[in-house]
Each structure stands twice: as structure tokens, then as C-alpha cells.
Amino acid sequence: NAGVTQTPKFQVLKTGQSMTLQCAQDMNHEYMSWYRQDPGMGLRLIHYSVGAGITDQGEVPNGYNVSRSTTEDFPLRLLSAAPSQTSVYFCASSVLIGVNEQFFGPGTRLTVL
């Protein structure tokens, strides 16, 4: 099992550009989520999904879109990048949220100039 994979590992964007951060898992997990990690702020939930075709907003969803067309993939789209979106992004998955641990991907470090 590869577990949770994320691409790219690093990315630099200019303000206004759009891009998609990829996340995939091969553990047949129903629950997937995206977090951003900023200094002094801990991990904050951006969006999550409880299964294919179902997504919902987390704590900081503005400026991001997600979709879940398959169980395996949960891409995060930045519509028009802003410097405030400079962060480290983590994708995570679990069997069912709550009583099961989350498995985290290696992270994507994004810089928006």
C-alpha cells in the first residue's frame, strides 16, 4: 500500500494563478480531508468528504474547491491564488471519521508570490 500520496511536494505560484493539489489513497477509505498548516495556527480543516460524490466545508474553505468523483482521489483546487494561501497542505484519510485514526499524506508546501 502506498497509503496517502500527495503531489506536488512543492509549488510556487503567482497571485491569481490557479492550480490543483492532488491527493490519492489506496486504502479504500471513505473519509478524506484537506488541512492547511500555518505557524502558530495548528492544522485547520479546509474541506472534507465522507464518500464519493459527497463533500462539505471545513473551518477555512474560502478560495478552495474540492470534488470527490472516486473513493481514491480528493483533489483540492485553488481558484485564484493569493499570498494568504501560502501554507503547507496536508491530505488525510480514514475508514470512518471519529473512531478511526486519520492517515496523513506527506504534505505540499505552497508559496504564492
What's the maximum distance between 2 C-alpha atoms anywhere in the chain? Answer: 40
Cβ 113 to another protein shortest distance, Å: 23
- If the CB atoms of residues 9 and 14 are measured against another protein, the closer one turns out to be 9
- If the CB atoms of residues 11 and 102 are measured against another protein, the closer one turns out to be 102
- If the CB atoms of residues 31 and 74 are measured against another protein, the closer one turns out to be 31
Cβ 101 to another protein shortest distance, Å: 3
Binding site for another protein (CB under 8 A): 31, 33, 35, 40-45, 48, 50, 54, 56, 58-59, 90, 97-107
Instruction: Say how many CA atoms lie within 13 Å of 43 toward its Cβ.
Output: 11
- If the CB atoms of residues 61 and 63 are measured against another protein, the closer one turns out to be 61
Can you tell me which residue has the cell 472516486? 70
CB 11 within 8 A of CB 25: no
Cβ 9 to another protein shortest distance, Å: 12
Q: Burial letters for 28-52: b for 16+ Cβ neighbours within 10 Å, e otherwise?
A: ebbbbbbbbeeeeeeeebbbbbeeb
Cβ 103 to another protein shortest distance, Å: 8
Q: Which of 23, 38, 1, 18 is nearest to 106 (CA)?
A: 23
